[in-house]
């Protein structure tokens, strides 16, 4: 007689375990799914309920407020959640970047203090890397941290910090030893975004929103034990965090093959009588193919995470696919809309949604690292091509004329 409890599916769980957990996720979503138009308070309520049900931060140990389960459970949860209308999450940085970094590199005390509130949505987190003179070349950052007794004193500026104005805490990288080469001498810290010496200025965007911010540090003080990882090892942590960011942006969370933009554009082609046009059909198939490839890359990246690996260059593949898709979707959406792409009835929500898609498509090639940076990473770390020459290799940072540093 066959023992069916020993049968496993592709998650590594037994069939019975997987089915039982999937049903638990379905039951929860049926009761608590916030809907596509959920605001920030709705999202916080959803996360609090998920944490209470043991469905938030699934791979994180229960002692730190997580579910104490596996990445196999996480995969099932994401698959189920993907079947319900959800808003663009305000917590994508909190949970897609900061939570895994704290879980992987934080001290026991840091995890005890910060993780549970992060997981449950009680606190929101941001990431602070880019500066006016250090965008694609983040290692040229000039924000500095100096130890003063039991505190680090931070001075400098960050820019393009997503959701800083809504965040309670953030992970910031700063230079702690300018006598080392630029990729060394950098450290990562936890920062209280409401603390003294921290000023946040929202940046008004072309689509009318203000998701991005400038952040200024004027003698902002950080407890000594809020250093994340080892001193002067911040570049390695920043690299890991950027990979988590690209995984989040690249859509590795779905856990299945999905073509949302293809479905949207196909519906638009039908509505405008363009579906039988062979050129349009060819364009739609290109979108379908790209989204399928993006999903498969994302699933491979998810399997790497499941195996306990820090995200690798696959995150760059997914992110590059995503930005290319966004540009193609913009072009097709504008073509289908015709005059409605530049003017529409103010009561027509679809017109405003079209403009959001169109205007947001431009930032997709910049956020999380430009397309050019992604191609460099893929060429170097996926294809094994030789790196471009580096003129500043081996030179102490204080001797370099980078960013706004002129002497």
- Active-site annotation, residues: 245
Structure tokens at 298: 């994302």
The Cα-based distances of 335 to 3, 283, 331, 346, 370 in angstroms read 57, 12, 6, 20, 26
Spell out the alpha helix ranges (H) of 338-401.
349-363, 371-377
Running DSSP on this structure, what letter comes out for residue 63? Answer: G
DSSP one-letter string for 218-249: EEEEEEGGGEESSTT-HHHHHHHHHHHHHHHH
Task: Return the closest-CA partner of residue 51 out of 77, 18, 15.
Answer: 77
Q: How far apart are CA 262 and CA 288, in angstroms?
A: 6
**Cα dihedral angle (28, 93, 161, 323), rounded to 10 degrees?**
-100
Running DSSP on this structure, what letter comes out for residue 85? Answer: -
Find out whether 328 and 293 touch, Cβ atoms under 8 Å.
no
Q: How far apart are CA 378 and CA 371, in angstroms?
A: 10
Q: How far apart are CA 270 and CA 250, in angstroms?
A: 28
* Number of neighbouring beta carbons within 10 Å of residue 136: 12
Find out whether 259 and 294 touch, Cβ atoms under 8 Å.
no
Q: How far apart are CA 78 and CA 81, in angstroms?
A: 5
The Cα-based distances of 142 to 115, 168, 191, 221, 396 in angstroms read 29, 23, 17, 17, 13
Q: What are phi and psi of 279, to 5 degrees?
A: -65, -45
Residues 5-11: contacts with CB within 8 Å, 24+ apart? 11/72, 11/73, 11/75, 11/76
Q: How far apart are CA 338 and CA 6, in angstroms?
A: 57
Structure tokens at 228: 């994340």
């Amino acid at each position: 007689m066959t023992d069916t409890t020993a049968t496993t599916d592709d998650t590594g769980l037994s069939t019975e375990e997987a089915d039982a957990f999937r049903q638990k996720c379905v039951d929860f979503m049926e009761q608590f799914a916030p809907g596509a138009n959920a605001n920030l308070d709705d999202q916080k309520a959803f996360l609090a309920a998920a944490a209470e049900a043991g469905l938030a931060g699934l791979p994180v140990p229960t002692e730190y407020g997580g579910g104490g389960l596996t990445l196999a459970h996480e995969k099932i949860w994401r698959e189920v959640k993907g079947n319900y209308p959800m808003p663009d999450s305000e917590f994508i940085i909190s949970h897609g970047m900061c939570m895994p970094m704290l879980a992987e590199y934080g001290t026991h005390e840091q995890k005890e203090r910060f993780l549970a509130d992060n997981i449950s949505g009680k606190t929101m987190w941001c990431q602070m890397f880019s500066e006016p003179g250090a965008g694609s070349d983040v290692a040229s950052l000039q924000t500095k941290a100096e130890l003063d007794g039991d505190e680090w004193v931070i001075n400098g500026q960050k820019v393009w910090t997503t959701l800083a104005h809504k965040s309670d805490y953030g992970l910031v990288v700063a230079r702690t030893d300018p006598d080392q080469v630029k990729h060394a001498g950098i450290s990562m810290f936890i920062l209280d975004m409401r603390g003294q010496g921290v000023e946040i200025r929202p940046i008004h965007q072309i689509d009318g929103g203000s998701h991005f911010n400038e952040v200024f540090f004027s003698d902002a003080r950080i407890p000594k034990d809020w250093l994340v990882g080892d001193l002067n090892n911040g570049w390695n942590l920043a690299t890991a965090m950027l990979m988590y960011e690209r995984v989040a942006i690249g859509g590795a969370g779905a856990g299945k093959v999905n073509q949302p933009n293809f479905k949207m554009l196909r519906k638009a082609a039908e509505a405008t009588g363009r579906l039988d046009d062979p050129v349009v059909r060819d364009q739609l198939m290109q979108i379908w193919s790209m989204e399928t490839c993006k999903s498969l890359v994302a699933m491979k990246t998810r399997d790497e995470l499941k195996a306990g690996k820090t995200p690798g260059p696959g995150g760059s593949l997914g992110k590059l696919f995503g930005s290319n898709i966004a540009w193609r979707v913009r072009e097709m959406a504008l073509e289908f809309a015709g005059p409605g792409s530049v003017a529409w009835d103010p009561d027509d929500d679809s017109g405003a949604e079209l403009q959001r898609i169109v205007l947001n498509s431009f930032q997709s090639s910049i956020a999380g690292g430009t397309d050019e940076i992604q191609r460099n990473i893929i060429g170097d770390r996926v294809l094994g091509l030789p790196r471009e020459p580096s003129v500043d290799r081996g030179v102490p940072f204080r001797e370099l004329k980078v960013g706004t540093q002129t002497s």
